[in-house]
Structure 1
């Protein structure tokens, strides 16, 4: 599950327009090494936090700068942590033989090195795959868990698209691959109204067309990693406050897939965000940030004007891992 980065591949800009995070504290970048692979995390510190640090694990095409546009709403709340794990963003290439357990343990390694014993965990799309495995393997490090645009089985659309996209990229036909990726991530316009659908589609196209050879190499290896190792293991999940949400018109990781994920997590809530699809955190940036902030500070998440009803999916046996 490869999530678009949306204007986030560049490092922090100086003199940019628009509001900055309220009362910014210290911003720190740390170079780390795990299992022989170099990687980097970014920490936006808040000296007067209202809750535990928030660890944001984004999609496979997102990097540690991808959440800067959310900082204006989240940075006043708590310390924010983003990371380019091995194999992603600007970190070292990671062969597909290294599985999701390795990435989950890299997350724990990072938190140990930067001396953060417990986090509010957010994982979007592929970030959920890593985040859930991290929570399963290191439950003591998770205070709350929030997952978005997520699933515990590889979507059929993704499994069907991977061979075609890999062959297209191998031929060097970036334009055709970009077209296929946009169709994969964006809902059909006839499915329902999605905020900024046309604009986000154009941004996606631009992002995919401007991938570097290193980006493409890592993307192909990422797809191999997921199809080889799968995205889910039926391990115990910590009984912490948990929320799963997605766009109501998500056709990649559908709302039903989100319900399946929530049903594996003790007492997890589930909801859909109105007028959004798989790229809910881009199309409805302020609303998704508000939802994350509310849940991390134990404020109500029901009755919000931008969400549909909040559900508590019934626990049941999880589908067989893909």
Structure 2
């Protein structure tokens, strides 16, 4: 039996000013495009990250980044904001000797990836943002701010706070079909219940970064950019996702059927397939899992998605 060589991986910490970036680099056997910089989100568990890495390295090298005090253990100093982190990603690429990359991120990481793309357009090949909301505080219900949640945690306790968070982030309307909704809700509640104080503080710090981020202004990057989300996303509604794509001259907007904000968890195969197709510049038309597909920059032209 012929053994198939496994992609090599290395993990290191790159310190940029007061911020630690935990960097995982995986090389694939036959890359077909520039390395893929994946900015990790809080909801991505080690199992999810491993599955994504295995899929990506079949066609590209992968650079996975977690941020100390936000998505990795550590403390993110007060005063460090989204722009600082976006510029820090650029310095990570300098440290790795990578001039240009594809960039991916979901949820909080999608918002950060977009700000990186705006501030460092010369480093881009293509960009995939999943569930980017711009300013998440514009779409979440009252009481979801970091200070309010900290107070709720002190007054109501961990179980009640976890239930409130899950109810705010998930689409719970029974009239709207979302695959894996019940399983994801249970998993989210269990994760929040199990979290120690340090993990919960990192989650609140992530939320604080999003709530305090300056508003987006002007056009987005000129590189091809896909903004995709679940068709029933709550914290990053499709309209907000479309508006982000509409800022970009080569922006594409799409929604995946029967999913909400956590589409990368509940429909991972479809999400990874769409990501691969876009980064390799393959056609996106007539994909059965897409509910919407549009190129909205300065035009109202719609590319029909498949029905059924």
TM-score normalised according to structure 1 size = 0.85
* 1:223 alignment counterpart: 207
Deviation for aligned residue 1:184: 1.6
Tell which deviates more after alignment, 52-61 or 140-149: 52-61
* 1:68 alignment counterpart: 50
SS, match of residue 82 in structure 1: strand
Which of 105, 108, 124 is the equivalent residue of 1:142? 124
* 1:241 alignment counterpart: 224
Q: Give me the whole-angstrom Cα distance separating, in 2, the residues matched to 1:229 and 1:259.
A: 19
* 2:304 alignment counterpart: none
Does the C-alpha gap of structure 1 residues 228 and 298 become closer, same or farther in structure 2, counting only changes over 3 Å?
Answer: closer
SS, match of residue 167 in structure 1: helix
Does the C-alpha gap of structure 1 residues 121 and 103 become closer, same or farther in structure 2, counting only changes over 3 Å?
Answer: same
* 2:91 alignment counterpart: 109
Q: Give me the whole-angstrom Cα distance separating, in 2, the residues matched to 1:277 and 1:166.
A: 25
Deviation for aligned residue 1:153: 2.9
* 1:10 alignment counterpart: none
SS, match of residue 67 in structure 1: helix
1:50 aligns with 2:52: no
Q: Which runs of structure 2 are paired with 1:191-230 in the superposition (5 Å)?
A: 191-230=175-214
**Conserved in 1, the CA contact under 8 Å of 2:254 and 2:294?**
yes
1:263 aligns with 2:213: no
Q: Give me the whole-angstrom Cα distance separating, in 2, the residues matched to 1:263 and 1:159.
A: 28
Q: Which runs of structure 2 are paired with 1:137-216 in the superposition (5 Å)?
A: 137-154=119-136, 155-157=138-140, 160-162=143-145, 163-171=147-155, 173-216=157-200
**Conserved in 1, the CA contact under 8 Å of 2:177 and 2:259?**
yes
Q: Can you give the 5+ residue segments of structure 2 that lack an aligned partner in the other structure? A: 300-308
How many residues are paired up? 294
Which contiguous aligned blocks of 4+ residues in structure 1 show a shift greater than 6 angstroms? none
SS, match of residue 102 in structure 2: strand
**Root mean square deviation, CA, Å:** 2.1
SS, match of residue 147 in structure 1: strand
Deviation for aligned residue 1:49: 0.2
**Conserved in 1, the CA contact under 8 Å of 2:229 and 2:254?**
yes
Deviation for aligned residue 1:173: 1.2
Tell which deviates more after alignment, 164-173 or 276-285: 164-173
TM-score normalised according to structure 2 size = 0.88
Q: Give me the whole-angstrom Cα distance separating, in 1, the residues matched to 2:62 and 2:155.
A: 39
Tell which deviates more after alignment, 232-241 or 304-313: 232-241
**Conserved in 2, the CA contact under 8 Å of 1:165 and 1:180?**
no
1:121 aligns with 2:103: yes
**Conserved in 2, the CA contact under 8 Å of 1:63 and 1:84?**
no
Q: Can you give the 5+ residue segments of structure 1 that lack an aligned partner in the other structure? A: 1-21, 317-322
Deviations 1:281-302 (A, max 9, x none): 0110011000000011111111
Higher relative contact order (CA 8 A, sep 6+): 1
Q: Give me the whole-angstrom Cα distance separating, in 2, the residues matched to 1:159 and 1:67.
A: 31
Q: Give me the whole-angstrom Cα distance separating, in 2, the residues matched to 1:64 and 1:135.
A: 26
**Conserved in 1, the CA contact under 8 Å of 2:130 and 2:227?**
yes
Deviation for aligned residue 1:266: 1.2
* 2:285 alignment counterpart: 302
